[in-house]
Amino acid sequence: MFRPAIKVLDCSIRDGGLINKWQFSDEFVRQTYAACGAAGVDYFEIGYKASANLFDPKEYGKWRFCRDEDIQRALDGVEPRCKIACMVDIGRVEEADLLPQEKSPFSLIRVATYVKDIDKAIDLARLVQDKGYETCINIMAVSSNLEKDIDEALAQLAKTDVPSVYVVDSYGNMYSEDVTFLVKKYQQFLPGKTIGIHTHNNRQLAFANTIQAIIDGADFLDASVFGIGRGPGNCPLELLLGFLKNPKFNLRPILQLIQDHYLPLREKIEWGYLIPYAITGMLNEHPRTAIAWRNSKQRDDYTAFFDKLTTPEIVE
């Protein structure tokens, strides 16, 4: 539970933005950043960097684009106790979107990829590093890949100087045994690199699976305030900080943040464990079908949703 090497990254705004198209107010983001800093969190992932020509700024909030000037303005006056991070998707960001690090508020830029695009992810991570940023690669939806394809991707990553690689349970499908298998595999292929873990809570295992990854040697840990995130959300930050026996972490600021800002937000937008997300997790599927179902008139007809996914030929 206590390892000095462990780093915690809060992904509340970035992953939570998948619920409401990043329409968080500056004040909400500022308060989250301040609380994470006071709590001892190491990195605060404020959103995605993306080219404005790919997403309509009238529809998507500023945290989908993370323009450096917007970040500086939103966080102005807050004591910078934790490093600021963002995520980039392959094909959704251009070199011109990334200033040299010394001119940017960002310290870490994470590259999200699928196994099939690992070569493109390596190129993007190299660009990020050349501009002076810390970087890591998050291999998404790894539970949906054949083992030989994972091995091939890891073998490619082993030849790079990318310092950190994440196991990502995008579909909330994994059990602790799966986490152990993958963390150990990543360690085997990537000696000397830091292994990270990002879990989703489809089956209420995000926190447990994060603990398992810690036991297995993962040192880069993702979590979000009150578990906010797309669909069922992520490992709750408050649970993780309460588990880590490190005196630098302080739970109280996060509890105050939840009380003042996240409880009111959950009255407006939905996240957390729900049966449709549990079903997509069991089936190792993207939660998009559950999200659509929760936005339909049948939102609470769980058996109909189950039948739709498991016996579509009968339902239709």
Give the Å distances, CA to CA, from 66 to 122, 137, 245, 280: 22, 19, 33, 30
Q: Is 277 exposed, middle or buried (0-12, 13-18, 19+ CB in 10 A)?
A: buried
Distance CA 20, CA 265 (A): 11
Q: Contact 38/76 with Cβ under 8 angstroms?
A: no
pLDDT at res. 312: 78
pLDDT at res. 99: 96
Sequence-distant (6+) residues with CB within 8 A of 82 are 10, 33, 36, 37, 40, 41, 42, 43, 44
The DSSP letter of residue 290 is H
pTM of the predicted model, to two decimals?
0.96
pLDDT at res. 313: 73
Domains of the chain, first to last: 7-266 (3.20.20.70), 275-315 (no CATH)
Q: Is 251 exposed, middle or buried (0-12, 13-18, 19+ CB in 10 A)?
A: middle
pLDDT at res. 76: 93
Question: Is the CA virtual torsion 51, 122, 43, 177 positive or negative?
Answer: positive
Residue 177 corresponds to which tokens in the numbers above? Answer: 């045994």
Q: Contact 169/199 with Cβ under 8 angstroms?
A: yes
Q: Which helix (H) or strand (E) holds 120?
A: helix 118-130
Query: Mean pLDDT, 10 residues at a time, over the chain (316 residues)?
Result: 90 98 97 98 97 90 96 94 97 94 98 98 98 98 97 98 98 98 98 98 98 98 98 97 94 98 97 98 97 97 96 72
pLDDT at res. 245: 87
For 73-106, b/e burial (b = at least 16 CB within 10 A) is ebbeeeeeebbbbbbbbbeebeeebbeebeebbb
pLDDT at res. 1: 61
67 Ramachandran zone, left/alpha/beta (phi>0; psi -120 to 50): beta
- Express each pLDDT in 228-273 by its tens digit: 999 999 999 999 999 998 999 999 999 999 999 999 999 999 999 9
Distance CA 294, CA 308 (A): 14
Distance CA 294, CA 274 (A): 9
Distance CA 299, CA 180 (A): 35
Q: Pick from 95, 89, 151, 86: which is nearest to 120 by CA? A: 89
Residues in the chain: 316
Q: Which helix (H) or strand (E) holds 150?
A: helix 147-158
Q: Contact 104/72 with Cβ under 8 angstroms?
A: no
Residue recorded with tokens 């929760």: 294
SS3 11: coil
